[in-house]
Amino acid sequence: MHTQDELENILKAQREFFKTGKTFDVSWRIEQLKKLRDAVIEYEDEIEKAMFEDLGRSQLEAYFCDIGSIILEVNEIIKGLKRWAKPETHFSGLTCFPSLTTKVYKVPYGNVLIISPFNFPFLLSLGVLAAAICGGNTAIIKASSKSLNSTAVLQKIISKTFSPEFVTVIDGGHDVADMCLAMNFDKIFYTGSPKIGKHVMEAASKNLTPVVLELGGETGNWAIVRKDANIKDAARKIAFFKMCNSGQICININQVAVASEIADEFLQALKDEIERQIGPSAIENPEYAKLITKAAYEKCASEAELYKDRIVYGGKGNPDTQKFEPTIIYPVNIDEKIVQHELFNPLLPVVPFDDKDIDKIMDVVASREHGLALYIFTKNLRWAKKVMATQQYGGGCINEVCLHIMVKGVPFGGTGHSGMGSYHGKWGFMEFTHPSSVLIGKTFGNLSLREHPYTGKKAKGKKTLLKLFER
C-alpha cells in the first residue's frame, strides 16, 4: 500500500528529471521507445501467462489484442516521431511586418498520470505510455487492482526497462488512484467507465489539469444490421467480437439492431458462428475468456436471469471459473433497460426493427449518450457513409468490427460520455504535447500601426493599411 508521501516523492523525482531537459531530445525518446518495444517482446511469455491468469485470455488473443498492438503502435511512433516533432514555420502576415516568421514548437506537458484498466492491462497502459514518451513526458502508471498478475508483470517490465524518475508503475485500488488524482500532474490519461471518468475530471479540475478520457459510453455501442446486409458475414464478425475477452472491451458491441425482415436468419447465423468459432460449450473451452471478478460474473448472471424467458442462445455460466456463455437475448425493445447501459460482458440483446424505419432507429441512437463505437452492416454504402459522417460517436466500421483501432495514422478517442481527446500515432504525439506559437521579431523596420496616436491624420492612414493587411 502506497502512502501519499511516497507518491509525492515519486512525482517530485520525476519533476526533477524532467527539468534536466533530457526528455526534450527526440533521439533520446526514440531510444526509450525501442527499449519499450524490445521489453514487450522479451516478456511476451510472461505477459500472455498473466493475462490468462487474470482474464482467461488465450495466447493468440493476448498477442493479437495487447502485445502485437503495442508493437504496431510503437513502430509507427518511431517511424514518424522526428517528422512530427519538428517545429513548424509559418508566415506571420503583413500585419506583423517586419517580423514575418513564426515558429510552432511541440512542447511536452511534463509529468503525466496514466490510469489504466483491467481489460487490456498492457495495451491500455504501455500503448498510452508510448504516446506519453513520444511527446517527451515522464509518466506514473496507476495500474488496475483487478488484474493483479498483469500489474505485477507490468511493474517488472517497467522497473527493468526505465528508471523510476522517468517511468514507474504503482498498484493499489481506488484509494491509491485518489491519492494520485490529488497531486499536481501536468496531464492525466484515464481509461475506464463514464462514472469514474466524471470523478477523474472533477479531481483534475482542482489543479486545472488537462485530461484525456477514454470511456466506454454510458448507453453502449450499437451494431446495425440492415435487411440488405451479408447476413453470414455480419454474424461471423459480430460473434467473434462479442466473444473476444468475453465482451469486456470498451469498443465492443453492446446491442444489435437487426431488420426484422432478416432477424430469424441472422439469429440462426449468429448461433452457428458462435459454435463454429468456440464450440458447443464456450465455458468449457479454455480459449474463452472469463469475467474479471466474482462481482462482474454475478452482475452478468443476474441480468441474464431478468431476461431468461427471452434467451434464445446461451444463458449458462460457471461461477467457479467466472465464465458466462455468449448469450443472445431476443426480442428486446429499444427502450428496455438492458439497452440503455453499458454491459461489458457476453450478453447480447437484439432489437428488431422494420428496415423502412431505419431513420427512426438512428434517431434513437443519436438521442442517447454517444458511444465509443458504431458498426453498420449493409450493402448501401452511400447511406452508411452518410450515417457515419453525421452521427456522433468515437469511431467505427462499415461491414466490419473493431479493426479501425489498428489502422495506422488515424485517431482513436470518444466524444461526450465516451470520452474526450484522442491518441494513436501522430494523434498521441499531439495529445501529449502543447503547440507553442512563437513569433520571431525584428529590431528594425517596424511599422507603427499598433502605436498611438489612434486619431488624426496618421490614424486614417493606419486604418487604410490595416484594412489592406487584415483580411
Q: Active-site positions?
A: 214, 250
> Judging by beta carbons within 10 Å of its beta carbon (0-12, 13-18, 19+), is residue 464 exposed, middle or buried?
exposed
From the list 269, 271, 267, 268, the residue with the least C-alpha distance to 280 is 271
Q: Cell numbers of 371, please? A: 458511444
Starting at the earlier edge strand, list the strands of the sheet with 253-259: 311-313, 327-329, 347-353, 253-259, 221-225, 373-377, 395-398
Contact 364, 352 (CB under 8 A): no
Q: Cell numbers of 286, please? A: 479454455
Radius of gyration from C-alpha coordinates of the chain: 26
Contact 249, 372 (CB under 8 A): no
What is d(CA 158, CA 141) in angstroms, rounded to the nearest whole number?
10
Cβ count near 340 (within 10 Å): 15
- CA triplet 450, 452, 456: central angle to 5 degrees? 115
- Which residues, 6+ apart, have CB-to-CB distance to 222 below 8 Å? 253, 254, 255, 256, 257, 365, 371, 374, 375
Contact 372, 272 (CB under 8 A): no
Starting at the earlier edge strand, list the strands of the sheet with 187-192: 167-170, 138-142, 111-115, 187-192, 211-215, 419-420
What is d(CA 129, CA 122) in angstroms, rounded to the nearest whole number?
10
- Which residues, 6+ apart, have CB-to-CB distance to 210 below 8 Å? 109, 186, 187, 188, 204
Determine the distance from the C-alpha atom of residue 467 to the mean position of all C-alpha atoms in its chain, rounded to a whole number.
46
